[in-house]
Chain A
Amino acid sequence: MNQKPGVCTFCGTGCGHFIGTENNRITRVYPSQNHPVSKGRLCVRGWNIHELLDTPERIKKPLVRADGGFKESSYDDAVARLVDALKKYPPESIGFLASPRSSNEEQYLLMKLARAAFKTNNISLDSDSGHRASLNVLHAGTGMAGMLGSIEEIRKAEFILVAGIDITRQNPIIGSEIHMARRAGAMVVTLDSRRTQIAKLSKKFLQVKPGANRLAVLALAKTIYDENLSDAAFLSAHTEGFEKFRHAFGLLPDNEVSDRTGIPAEEIKAVARDLAKAKSAMVFFSSGISGLDEDTIGFIYNLFLMAGKVGKEGCGVNPVAGLNNLQGGYDMGIAPDLLTGFQALEDTAVAKKFSAEWKADVPAATGAPIYTLLSDPSSKLKALVVVDHDEGIVRYADAIKKLDFVAYIGAFKNPFAEYAHVVLPIATYVQEDATFTNTERRIQYSMKKIEPEEGLLPGWKLYAMIAGKAGLSWKYAKVSDVMDEIARLTPTYAGVSHAKLSAGFGMQWPVDEKNPQGTRRFDIAQAGRKLSFYKVSDVFEVPAAKEQFPFLLMVGKAQHFWHQNNLMKKTHIPMREYNATLMDYPEGYVEICPRSAKEIGVRDRWPVRVVSPHGEMRVDVKVSEDVKPNTAYAPYFVQEMISRFLLGHTEVLRQGEDATIPVRIEKV
């Protein structure tokens, strides 16, 4: 038999699959029936992953910049150039942009490399780093910096709120579990500005005005409070800080809710009652550009806490990671202020523990996320190391061009490599044993399926080689040694080893002495602390359309051109689907409803100009019933849209949910 078990490396769901190989090439994929998360299902991406893994669009030789182009080189030479270049600069001028696709072992070693070898804390995750907002809320509230619930328990939830996430597109198999729960009788409610597929499949759909999610959540909380539906015993026994949150209710006049959210007040009240009445309840959302901001997530967490729906079976406040090892990236300390397992860098005892294990000091100086540095014209960043850039689009290209030195490390060809002075190839996900941590904290082992091409190093060996050239001596005989080191330094991963993971379907952290088999969900009985309400704002302004800018534009993702498609572009079938959309809408599209289209005087696929106070773009119109009048939706997948228009709105976009841009749409 030629079926090797592994984990799908597209999104954060972490579905199980089997990969078939022939002559050291990947030829097929099949779903894993008994996998606890995916239970025999895969989505369009997962079903075509073998096409990606067999792509010739790989980087196979080290390259160094010469005479305006690239020349093939050796690892020895290219790594020496990288180390020499970085050694020229002080730590504050060096940055590391890590990939949310790299394995835990690779993430960890890159983090160690940045800190132990190059003494910088300028390290952050590329793309979708909005997940941090969710982790901040949950960590502050409960101590667990990850999904509180579990995908396996979705079918045990009586009430499920899907808030602002197109989940059947972004993480389809989680969407499927919610759909199955709905079919078994769960009350599924979708809160979104667009009528997504899950909205159509839900029992109730609250189509909220763009940018008013937070207000809608507050209105839900207020109803629970006003009607005395909260779990008083739970509140007093297990929580603290409710009084401060309660203060927000007084700021919300009842008569304004409906107007500002676009949802009839009675509908909100009915949903609040459903939530309070249910024995178990879960909420799914994502953070970042097409998800929610930290403050809104704080409101959601507070709502579920006051309803007593945290820490019990079938309950969970569940942020959804769009990328396969985004959660693992944070777990591995890929952030300026974090070490592994969400341990604070500024905690001296923690830093001391790392320094002792590493036999090198953990730098104390404050670092910054790479995109913050790139967007800041006064930043001192001069040299940047980028790993497996995920997007087909390079943001801040102008700033990157101005850097003195850029190194690109990756398995697949990517436009980011064009900006590099040194390019270092590494093996793909299936050419080395690795672990990945999915969105429900499940650490999964993926065994090596094929050998890397001759001479090609897996990431962990390359990082050890770089460390060696930089004067450190890392002695890992095998990749599992790296996980052993992670386990020694990380309380939540304390009981993890490759040997333990290779039997079964992974373990959910914390894996420690108390929970040797892992922890399915956050458990109130084991919390050992009171849960705190998150400190939220009391400003409830919603973006308002104005006379000159009557549309509220939302930005987001779409199925096949998910993440601007760097990986999808290396497949055949998903690539065709992407091309079909591009052929229909070559300049990207903005989705508006038939009534708006009629008012503007355009039809499907006609070009329009979208004008905001900060810029404009030309795109085609997609006419759809899924948006309401005077709202518009633009999936970000075309270079022009991103670079010419959206980046002009950086400040707006950084705020996450309130990435709602008032625009005017004109016929051209």
Chain B
Amino acid sequence: MTMFLIKKADVGKIAQELGREYQVYGPMIEKGSGQTFFDRAEDVAEINLSAPIPSNPPKSVVFPQMERILSYEYDRTKNTVKMEPDYEVTPKALVGLRPCDLAGMLCLDRFFMGQEFVDEVYLNHRKKMFIVTNTCVTPFKQCFCVCTDSGPAAGEGYDLNLTDLGKEYLVEVGSEKGAALAAKLSLAPANDSHLALKKEKVDQSIAMFEDIAVDSKAWVSRVMNRVTTGFVKDDVWEYIGDQCFECGACTFVCPSCSCFNIADVNNTDCAGCADRLRTWDSCSYEGYSRMAGGHNPRKPVEDRRNKRFFCKLSYSQMKKYLRPGCVGCGRCAWVCPGDIGLPNVVTYVRREITG
């Protein structure tokens, strides 16, 4: 593997160089509130690699909350329709992506592009993308990526991977694009001792989970077994369902949730014109699983919750994602008004086994 070093003071040069060719996205701290966002940088100097895990996953870069994917014009007199796909095609660079968020993006890739049908809208956002990941040398309060095989260091899918070694960053190259950028920046080569230092940092980070990542004491693997085999009792799902506020937050903040809704909206600027919008959707909504004719296979809220955790924790979903659907970022626990983020659900299911 090719590896380089970059001084801490120089690490901004990566984003700067990418800014010449790409729209650059990265973690930034909103000054008024102190909240970290993973967002488009108007100025690459805004990107802050030591910012805490962003409150939002990078999902919206490839799968925006609300996106116009098509506009059409219907001419009633001629009975003709003009349709134009509306794809965003500017190449994008994600700088400072956390490993869990990269894992989430890989799940999205496999959902949108890895099956019989390739989603062109997604593909247009995703192709030509440059990804720079950032190893978590300390975990955050709500993290549990160690339980979902998605951190604290990224294993695949990046062009460059950064690890903070103290005074400098180790830069691991994951692709030809990455190698080209490293060459352009004339980075100093790194050796095995740096790699060993990285391993030490990662091990230290894992050891810190016990004290720092206190929000989450999940036992994911055991629960995956229960969820897959359908052994979880109805009353556990009911207990969870009773606490669901049906807000959709868990799905919106989830790096791997991919469900969407399509709505056609009249464009008031022109008669017969309409925009086709794609918006985030959520399995927590009753109307989401309702079928034409009124039948709803998942009408009770507990059945809808059960569906979500099946998506995140079952082996059958793993066949699609080639990894667990949950990436251990803990954001669902942050935003849930019912306090049934995934770690708590894991706890409730586990209680069935361990009492």
Task: Report which A residues bind B (CB closer than 8 A).
Answer: 1-3, 5, 16, 18, 20, 27-35, 40-44, 46-47, 50-51, 54, 56, 58, 168, 172-173, 175-176, 179-180, 183, 197, 200-201, 503, 505, 559, 572-573, 576-577, 579-580, 583-584
Say if the beta carbon of B41 comes within 8 Å of chain A: yes
* Cβ–Cβ contact A41 & B336, under 8 A: yes
* Cβ–Cβ contact A1 & B40, under 8 A: yes
Complex Cα gap A168–B246 (Å) = 10
> What is the distance, in angstroms, from B113's C-beta to the closest C-beta of chain A?
23
Complex Cα gap A32–B287 (Å) = 27
* Cβ–Cβ contact B249 & A5, under 8 A: no
* Cβ–Cβ contact B245 & A176, under 8 A: yes
Complex Cα gap A42–B249 (Å) = 7
* Cβ–Cβ contact B279 & A56, under 8 A: no
* Cβ–Cβ contact B65 & A18, under 8 A: no
* Cβ–Cβ contact B37 & A1, under 8 A: yes
* Cβ–Cβ contact B247 & A29, under 8 A: no
* Cβ–Cβ contact B261 & A572, under 8 A: yes
Given A31-B249, A50-B66: A1 and B46 interface contact (C-beta under 8 Å): yes
Interface string of B230-242 (1 = CB under 8 A from A): 0000000000001
- A-B contact list, 22 entries, CB within 8 Å: A1-B30, A1-B42, A18-B35, A20-B65, A27-B66, A29-B65, A30-B37, A31-B335, A33-B55, A41-B335, A42-B249, A44-B245, A47-B248, A47-B252, A50-B66, A56-B268, A175-B245, A176-B245, A197-B242, A200-B242, A573-B261, A576-B261
* Cβ–Cβ contact A28 & B66, under 8 A: yes
B residues in contact with A584, CB < 8 Å: 294
Given A27-B65, A43-B337, A47-B252: A172 and B245 interface contact (C-beta under 8 Å): yes
**Quick one: closest A residue to B244, CB to CB?**
A197
Interface string of B208-222 (1 = CB under 8 A from A): 000000000000000
> What is the distance, in angstroms, from B337's C-beta to the closest C-beta of chain A?
3
> What is the distance, in angstroms, from B88's C-beta to the closest C-beta of chain A?
10
Instruction: Choose from B33, B336, B338, B339 the contact partner of A5 (Cβ within 8 Å).
Output: B33
> What is the distance, in angstroms, from A576's C-beta to the closest C-beta of chain B?
4
A residues in contact with B268, CB < 8 Å: 56, 58
Q: Identify which of B30, B268, B287, B290 gathers the most chain A CB atoms within 10 Å of its CB.
A: B287
A residues in contact with B281, CB < 8 Å: 573
* Cβ–Cβ contact A34 & B35, under 8 A: yes
* Cβ–Cβ contact B337 & A201, under 8 A: no
**Quick one: closest B residue to A559, CB to CB?**
B246
Say if the beta carbon of B285 comes within 8 Å of chain A: yes
Given A28-B66, A201-B243, A580-B286: A34 and B338 interface contact (C-beta under 8 Å): no
Say if the beta carbon of B334 comes within 8 Å of chain A: yes
> What is the distance, in angstroms, from A442's C-beta to the closest C-beta of chain B?
15
* Cβ–Cβ contact B32 & A1, under 8 A: no
* Cβ–Cβ contact A1 & B246, under 8 A: no
* Cβ–Cβ contact A50 & B286, under 8 A: no
Complex Cα gap A30–B37 (Å) = 10
User: Can you list the 5 inter-chain pairs with the closest CB atoms, starting with the nearest?
Assistant: A176-B337, A580-B287, A28-B65, A572-B263, A56-B268
* Cβ–Cβ contact B267 & A572, under 8 A: no
Complex Cα gap A404–B8 (Å) = 74
Instruction: Choose from B42, B263, B337 the contact partner of A41 (Cβ within 8 Å).
Output: B337
Say if the beta carbon of B85 comes within 8 Å of chain A: no
* Cβ–Cβ contact A1 & B294, under 8 A: no
> What is the distance, in angstroms, from B70's C-beta to the closest C-beta of chain A?
15
> What is the distance, in angstroms, from A483's C-beta to the closest C-beta of chain B?
19
Instruction: Choose from A50, A56, A503 the contact partner of B265 (Cβ within 8 Å).
Output: A56
A residues in contact with B32, CB < 8 Å: 5, 503
Given A2-B39, A3-B30, A573-B281: A51 and B66 interface contact (C-beta under 8 Å): yes
> What is the distance, in angstroms, from A163's C-beta to the closest C-beta of chain B?
20
A residues in contact with B266, CB < 8 Å: 56
B residues in contact with A44, CB < 8 Å: 245-248, 285
Say if the beta carbon of B71 comes within 8 Å of chain A: no
A residues in contact with B245, CB < 8 Å: 43-44, 168, 172, 175-176, 197
B residues in contact with A173, CB < 8 Å: 337
**Extra inter-chain contacts (20) besides given A1-B40, A168-B245, CB under 8 Å:** A1-B39, A1-B41, A16-B33, A28-B64, A30-B37, A34-B33, A40-B55, A40-B335, A41-B247, A41-B337, A44-B247, A44-B285, A47-B248, A173-B337, A175-B337, A197-B245, A200-B242, A201-B243, A576-B287, A579-B287
**Quick one: closest B residue to A447, CB to CB?**
B32
B residues in contact with A2, CB < 8 Å: 39-40, 42
Complex Cα gap A175–B247 (Å) = 12
A residues in contact with B317, CB < 8 Å: none
B residues in contact with A577, CB < 8 Å: 285-287
Q: How many residues does chain B have at the interface if contact means C-beta atoms less than 8 Å apart?
A: 47
Task: Report which B residues bind A (CB closer than 8 A).
Answer: 28, 30, 32-35, 37, 39-42, 46, 55-56, 60, 64-66, 242-243, 245-249, 252, 261, 263, 265-268, 277, 279, 281-282, 285-287, 290, 294, 334-339
> What is the distance, in angstroms, from A232's C-beta to the closest C-beta of chain B?
39
* Cβ–Cβ contact B294 & A27, under 8 A: no
> What is the distance, in angstroms, from B273's C-beta to the closest C-beta of chain A?
10
Complex Cα gap A444–B294 (Å) = 42
B residues in contact with A175, CB < 8 Å: 245, 337
Instruction: Choose from B34, B40, B60, B338 the contact partner of A176 (Cβ within 8 Å).
Output: B338
Given A44-B246, A201-B243, A573-B279: A583 and B337 interface contact (C-beta under 8 Å): no
Complex Cα gap A283–B55 (Å) = 33
A residues in contact with B249, CB < 8 Å: 31, 41-42, 47
* Cβ–Cβ contact B247 & A50, under 8 A: no
A residues in contact with B39, CB < 8 Å: 1-3, 20
> What is the distance, in angstroms, from A22's C-beta to the closest C-beta of chain B?
9
* Cβ–Cβ contact B267 & A51, under 8 A: no
**Quick one: closest B residue to A41, CB to CB?**
B337
B residues in contact with A576, CB < 8 Å: 261, 285, 287
Q: Identify which of B56, B247, B282, B339 gathers the most chain A CB atoms within 10 Å of its CB.
A: B247
> What is the distance, in angstroms, from B224's C-beta to the closest C-beta of chain A?
25
Complex Cα gap A30–B35 (Å) = 11
B residues in contact with A168, CB < 8 Å: 245, 337
* Cβ–Cβ contact A583 & B294, under 8 A: yes
**Quick one: closest B residue to A45, CB to CB?**
B247
> What is the distance, in angstroms, from A649's C-beta to the closest C-beta of chain B?
30
A residues in contact with B37, CB < 8 Å: 1, 3, 18, 30
A residues in contact with B40, CB < 8 Å: 1-2
A residues in contact with B263, CB < 8 Å: 572
* Cβ–Cβ contact B33 & A30, under 8 A: no
Given A33-B55, A44-B246, A200-B242: A179 and B338 interface contact (C-beta under 8 Å): yes
> What is the distance, in angstroms, from B129's C-beta to the closest C-beta of chain A?
19
* Cβ–Cβ contact B339 & A180, under 8 A: yes
A residues in contact with B252, CB < 8 Å: 47
Complex Cα gap A555–B66 (Å) = 35
> What is the distance, in angstroms, from B325's C-beta to the closest C-beta of chain A?
21
B residues in contact with A16, CB < 8 Å: 33
* Cβ–Cβ contact A33 & B334, under 8 A: yes
* Cβ–Cβ contact B338 & A18, under 8 A: no
> What is the distance, in angstroms, from A8's C-beta to the closest C-beta of chain B?
12
B residues in contact with A583, CB < 8 Å: 294
Instruction: Choose from A32, A50, A559 the contact partner of B35 (Cβ within 8 Å).
Output: A32
* Cβ–Cβ contact B242 & A172, under 8 A: no
* Cβ–Cβ contact B243 & A1, under 8 A: no
* Cβ–Cβ contact A172 & B247, under 8 A: yes
**Quick one: closest B residue to A169, CB to CB?**
B245
Complex Cα gap A377–B42 (Å) = 61
> What is the distance, in angstroms, from A168's C-beta to the closest C-beta of chain B?
6
* Cβ–Cβ contact A5 & B66, under 8 A: no
> What is the distance, in angstroms, from B203's C-beta to the closest C-beta of chain A?
30
* Cβ–Cβ contact A30 & B286, under 8 A: no
* Cβ–Cβ contact A1 & B33, under 8 A: no
* Cβ–Cβ contact A183 & B339, under 8 A: yes
**Quick one: closest A residue to B301, CB to CB?**
A197
> What is the distance, in angstroms, from B159's C-beta to the closest C-beta of chain A?
23
* Cβ–Cβ contact B287 & A572, under 8 A: no
Complex Cα gap A212–B261 (Å) = 44
